[in-house]
Amino acid sequence: AQKITQTQPGMFVQEKEAVTLDCTYDTSDPSYGLFWYKQPSSGEMIFLIYQGSYDQQNATEGRYSLNFQKARKSANLVISASQLGDSAMYFCAMRPSLSNQFYFGTGTSLTVIP
């Protein structure tokens, strides 16, 4: 079975600090992709970052980085230097390479405090 778990319903971070949002996954597929999306209060879903299961290095995109620990089946999102505009829901997702389906976690609500 494929499953994504996000155990932090809500997180707070001080502006300019770094924050880690947790994501663990379960799959028996040997190859898969991991994704993070941001959903601000306006409702749209914004793609942030991707990690392939065979990528040797952790993915980075600007202030976003993905702390990928394959043996622990975790794919945590790290946001550095938090900004007020980072306040949003964040979703972790996985797509097994042999499937066309994406599996989403229940999300983490991040609030950045000025």
Chain residues in the site for other proteins (CB under 8 A):
6, 9, 33, 35, 37, 43-45, 47, 50, 52, 91, 93, 95, 100-102, 104-107
- Token pair, residue 80, equals 């550095």
β-strand 10-14 against 19-21: which pairing, if any? unpaired
Compute the least distance from the CB of residue 44 to other proteins, in Å: 6
Compute the least distance from the CB of residue 64 to other proteins, in Å: 13
CB nearer to other proteins: give 18 or 46: 46
CB nearer to other proteins: give 79 or 92: 92
Please say whether the beta carbons of 91 and 22 come within 8 A: no
CB nearer to other proteins: give 3 or 16: 3
The CA radius of gyration of the chain, in Å to the nearest whole number, is 14
- Token pair, residue 7, equals 């155990």
- Token pair, residue 96, equals 């097994």
Compute the least distance from the CB of residue 38 to other proteins, in Å: 11
Q: Of the candidates 97, 111, 107, which has an alpha carbon nearest to the alpha carbon of residue 50? A: 97
Compute the least distance from the CB of residue 74 to other proteins, in Å: 18
Tokens 């042999």 sit at which residue?
98
**DSSP annotation of 85:** G
CB nearer to other proteins: give 14 or 54: 54
